[in-house]
Amino acid sequence: MNFCFPSFHVPLTSITVVDFILRLINAVKYHLYTAILFTWTDYKTVFFPITVFACATAPARSCSSLLWCCVWVWFHQLMCNVSNQVCGRKEDKINHPWRPFPSGRVSESQALVIRWATVACCISLSSMYEPELIHTTLGLVIVTLAHDELGGGNNVVGKSLCSAAAYVCFEFGATTIIGVMDFVSVTAVIISGILAFTAVHAQDFPDVEGDKTTGRMTFPIYAPELSRFFTLFVTIAWSVFLSWFWEVGPISTTLFASFGIYVGLRYYFWRTSEADRRSYLTFNVWLMAAHVLPLHARTSVLAF
Ligand SMILES: *[C@@H]1O[C@H](CO)[C@@H](O)[C@H](O)[C@H]1NC(C)=O
């Protein structure tokens, strides 16, 4: 027996190992892709703006703190997005059918497991970096609970409040990881929270059709005309205020304010859902610029 099996046995084992590794790689690829699908819409609204904000507000101490910041923001965005999408499956069937839940990539029974697994992931991540950060994570968990499970996101004011609170948590966490929370950082975070409160509805314009079908009340649905006008007002007012507050130079002010006016006018005059999708993209570029202004308080780079 011993005599004839070895030659047969050895290749069999190595095939099993190779096969196992290939399956493992495929599984990792599959789940990574799922995670990217969950977070896809919000790289422009969360991941990049928050990271850029943190770097501009509390210039990075080291490459490793920047890396930590990116990982931390990404996992927390994933947590918020999973929670949001577990509760928003109906709207997503219409607005975003390719997302993991509506497309059937992730089943109903897996949804809750993933929802709480991402929470556990974020808590461990924060505790690994600095136990204090756990408070920020818990803050975000509470905000997502209020927004999604408790239905705070279903009315106009609740949604804006939750989003603003979420931004504050994200920025607080990211800035703490990157550098220090001194007067400039704290001021920048507070201002950005108020800005988020007044402007988050910009994201609801492209989704009006889907939200109407599911009965989700957003500012653009509640007040179609006023919400357009308000967006115009808000982008202009914030452009002027932020340039003044951070004391950037005349050319920077002109550039930033013109861009804000352009974004506001786009929203006001171009009202198809395709135009709204593009307006939202330009809005995010403007928002990113708004988040870079605190850099001036550190380095005077925008004095021209
Ligand atoms: C993703 O998470 C961010 C941060 O809380 C939130 O603003 C955004 O609406 C979420 N998007 C989706 C599609 O879940």
User: Using H for helix, E for strand and C for coil, what is the string for 130-192?
Assistant: CCCHHHHHHHHHHHHHHHHHCCHHHCHHHHHHHHHHHHHHHHHHHHHHHCCCCHHHHHHHHHH
In a domain, 1, yes or no: no
Whether 169 maps to a domain, the answer reads: yes
Whether residue 118 lies inside any domain: the answer is: yes
Q: What is the dihedral of CA 205, 211, 216, 217, to 10 degrees?
A: 30
Q: Does residue 218 have its Cβ closer than 6 Å to ligand 1?
A: no
Single-letter code of the amino acid located at 150: L
CA of residue 163 to ligand 1 center, whole Å: 8
Give pLDDT, residue 210: 83
- pLDDT for 298: 83
Domain enclosing residue 129, as ranges: 43-299
Q: What is the pLDDT of residue 11?
A: 58
Distance, in Å, from the CA atom of 112 to the CA atom of 119, rounded to the nearest integer, reads 11
Is residue 196 lining ligand 1, measured as CB closer than 6 Å?
no
Q: From the CB of 166, is ligand 1 less than 6 Å away?
A: yes
Enumerate the H helices of the chain as residue ranges: 6-39, 48-57, 63-87, 89-95, 108-129, 133-144, 156-178, 183-199, 208-214, 219-222, 224-245, 250-269, 273-292, 295-299
* Contact 84 CB / ligand 1 (< 6 Å): yes
- Burial class of 76 by CB neighbour count within 10 A (0 to 12, 13 to 18, 19+): buried
Alpha carbon distance 137, 185 (integer Å):
19
**Residue having the nearest C-alpha atom to atom 1 of ligand 1:** 81
**What is the number of structural domains in the chain?**
1
Q: Which residue CA neighbors atom 13 of ligand 1 most closely?
A: 81
CA distance 253 to 126: 37
**Ligand 1 center–CA 41 separation, angstroms:** 8
pLDDT at 10: 52
CA 178 to chain centre: 18
Query: What are all long-range contacts of 155-160, with beta carbons under 8 Å and residues at least 24 apart?
Result: 155/217, 156/201, 156/217, 156/218, 156/219, 156/222, 159/200, 159/201, 159/218, 160/196, 160/197, 160/198, 160/200, 160/201, 160/219
> What confidence score (pLDDT) does residue 1 get?
41
Query: Tell me, what DSSP letter sits at residue 215?
Result: T
Residues of the chain with pLDDT under 70: 1-13
- Position 48 scores a pLDDT of 93
At 12 the pLDDT is: 58
pTM of the entire structure?
0.87
Instruction: Return the residue matching tokens 């409040």.
Output: 161
In a domain, 140, yes or no: yes
Domain-embedded: residue 22: no
CA of 301: how far to CAs of 9, 105, 241, 263, in Å? 68, 47, 18, 24
Contact 175, 189 (CB under 8 A): yes
Residue 235: inside a domain: yes
Cα torsion angle, 228, 237, 159, 289, sign: positive
Asked if the structure places residue 36 within a domain, the reply is no
Whether 21 is covered by a domain: the verdict is: no
3-state secondary structure of 2: coil
Residue with tokens 């999708």: 277
